[in-house]
Structure 1
């Protein structure tokens, strides 16, 4: 904040700009853009439910559900709209230590203050109207333009952290349709060594073909259980990073074991996949609630009540089997694929919204 506003203002003065679209977290830039007479928009990259919770912060505090630092008071936050889900834990209450939560909350508050100064014309969200109807009907200022699809252009999508291992695609080509369990936890989630072993053993115990993304840093070490690699060699594929947009669209993939990052959820929905959910932090718990409670396109992986800290191998294998033998869940996932596809097709809700956004930005 000490140097960037002046730099952005200088850029605008020396350029030929009509509008500015920024990530929600950079809302402070919009004051500079408005001062220059530009039209403005923010893009929220997660679900509208989390965005709405942020917009409702002051009401949550006034109603005694959160304290002044955004920490929960113990008073129950009611379900939102007609959704059978609860917004607790809120995204900033599921991210690290209490001090980290307070810092994230303060950052969010600053963003909301910036937006409250009349600096933004449109608030865009990577979601689908029909998938978050209850939330969006209560917050008409949120404009759904998703799912924003990755991988539909030539070349590698921007923003990848590690080199993609394309060999998994030829491996998938050799697998039967809807047979492979795809396991990927994004770029941040971490498993301790014991949990890493339980996951490996669960995949082995399932007897199903699997594609597992084990990126650098996923576990404390990359030591697999004794004999695991030899046992699963013919039916398992392990890569450090995958071309996920192509993997999820592959005919061989049956389900997605996911940390429930919103981009991954939207990619899974767009490809008609059911989920086994394993959220790690922040908004991922609310995203899981959508998948399991609202859309009913997945099953939760839960920690064993005896140990309290591990998702066991037996539970993982059983959930894989239950999910892949549940025609209702699979059918519902395919229905949502049609909803998502229709939304970005000509005359779909997201298509029309984005067209209106473009026209508004033109002025």
Structure 2
């Protein structure tokens, strides 16, 4: 039997791609009469992740925000005792900030991104409350992380997370795309220290999956039935996207950066199914020569394009466009620094999405029936691209040439192949229908979300 109003604390990893789906979940939970305190934990990147109340906040007074600096030194090169002390201090900072809120009420549950699993264990120990681990990745990628210990024991990967035999692959199921040695989510061949941090974070993810009271994932049973079998009890409540009516009225919750909505007016001037949408998320980078090839590939396609170009997209530096490019494409393309992506993907003028294949972007595109061109660069993006091209067959991968470059010629060819392939469009439309049905009454994600709400209330 439910007592007073449940008070849930949600803690994301400080990165746009992790905070966005958890904030969407926060609003969805709050709409069922549950109080939610969303913790803004800062940013891993140059742009701040500042949690600003969205338009939806006016409708959901049950959502409150608190900002706490939660550094990631807990994944640094420290002794076990120093790490333990850092984790406890961070958890105490979070709890102190929440308790100092004017409308503070007793916390009944903490929901945290799985990569912030140490928050769950520390808070649970301090308050003796229930904990929920939120998986922001696909079930397949999450399952790989959850198998780290078994893969290490089997001698498949070493203690640094590298494949022992680089020419082999990891296969968890015949119905899930396998992982090559270079495509494992924590691998970063360019930076050993970054890989070490990613691998340590992945092990925290695994531990959170084993110790929490419940696991919730931004995916759907219809998308990944085989992967769901690998994490028993995981509640798939996705895709976490806005309904069309909410999208038109308020936009999508979860973006913490300033969106250039002028691109929507620009899309209004274009014919249906004509525009190539290009965006690489908040963290993926291109080398300058890759940026040049992409620019010239879009130009040579002769098709209208909407291109999201972050100021730091070329390996952290402002990009330099090919000479004369901006003048030549002035009537063909629209370039913005950040776009209201869900609104863009829902626009009838968009024909396809050239993407880094982050899980959020993949879910948003699939849920709108938009075919994808895949340009993954790190983490789970390679596995997502394999789902898109090999399992769901709603997109195509861009292939590197013998020099390791995705050329303007390849970009042009793949755009034409994708837009002329009716089977990809049909598959995308069918997957869109499955995505919509899963979150409607009677759907698998709808039923799982009801289970989640009941867990939070009682």
Interval of TM-score (by shorter of Structure 1 and Structure 2): over 0.9
* C-alpha separation in 1, matches of 2:256 and 2:95: 30
Contact kept? 1:8, 1:32, Cα under 8 Å: no
Matched, 1:81 2:173: yes
* C-alpha separation in 1, matches of 2:205 and 2:307: 37
For structure 2, list consecutive stretches of 5 or more residues without a partner in the other structure: 1-86
Q: What's the TM-score once normalised by structure 2's chain length?
A: 0.74
Which residue of structure 1 aligns with residue 155 of structure 2? 64
* Superposed CA offset, 1:315-336 (max 9, x none): 1011000000000011101110
Q: Given the superposition, is the C-alpha separation of residues 122 and 130 from structure 1 closer, same or farther in structure 2, using an over 3 Å criterion?
A: same
* C-alpha separation in 2, matches of 1:114 and 1:43: 9
Which residue of structure 2 aligns with residue 55 of structure 1? 146
* Superposed CA offset, 1:221-273 (max 9, x none): 43322332232222211111111110000000010000001000000000001
* C-alpha separation in 1, matches of 2:447 and 2:153: 37
Match for residue 133 of structure 2 among 3, 28, 42:
42
Matched, 1:5 2:91: yes
Matched, 1:226 2:335: no
Provide the alpha-carbon RMSD of the alignment: 2.1
Match for residue 352 of structure 2 among 223, 241, 255:
255
**How far apart are residue 27 of structure 1 and its match?**
1.6
**How far apart are residue 101 of structure 1 and its match?**
1.3
* C-alpha separation in 1, matches of 2:436 and 2:281: 24
Q: Identify the range of structure 1 (348-357 vs 158-167) with the bigger mean alpha-carbon deviation.
A: 158-167
Q: Identify the range of structure 1 (66-75 vs 296-305) with the bigger mean alpha-carbon deviation.
A: 66-75
Count of matched residue pairs: 359
Matched, 1:344 2:424: no
Any idea what SS the aligned residue of 2:179 has?
coil
Contact kept? 1:65, 1:77, Cα under 8 Å: no
Match for residue 166 of structure 1 among 258, 261, 265:
261
Q: Given the superposition, is the C-alpha separation of residues 37 and 223 from structure 1 closer, same or farther in structure 2, using an over 3 Å criterion?
A: closer
Q: Given the superposition, is the C-alpha separation of residues 12 and 347 from structure 1 closer, same or farther in structure 2, using an over 3 Å criterion?
A: farther
Q: Given the superposition, is the C-alpha separation of residues 123 and 114 from structure 1 closer, same or farther in structure 2, using an over 3 Å criterion?
A: closer
Contact kept? 1:84, 1:293, Cα under 8 Å: no
Any idea what SS the aligned residue of 2:112 has?
strand
**How far apart are residue 215 of structure 1 and its match?**
1.4
* Superposed CA offset, 1:158-213 (max 9, x none): 55354211111111111111111000011112222222111111111111111111
Q: Given the superposition, is the C-alpha separation of residues 256 and 132 from structure 1 closer, same or farther in structure 2, using an over 3 Å criterion?
A: same
Matched, 1:146 2:232: no
Q: Which structure would you say has the larger RCO, counting Cα contacts within 8 Å and 6 or more residues apart?
A: 1
Q: What's the TM-score once normalised by structure 1's chain length?
A: 0.92
Which residue of structure 2 aligns with residue 207 of structure 1? 302
For structure 1, list consecutive stretches of 5 or more residues without a partner in the other structure: none
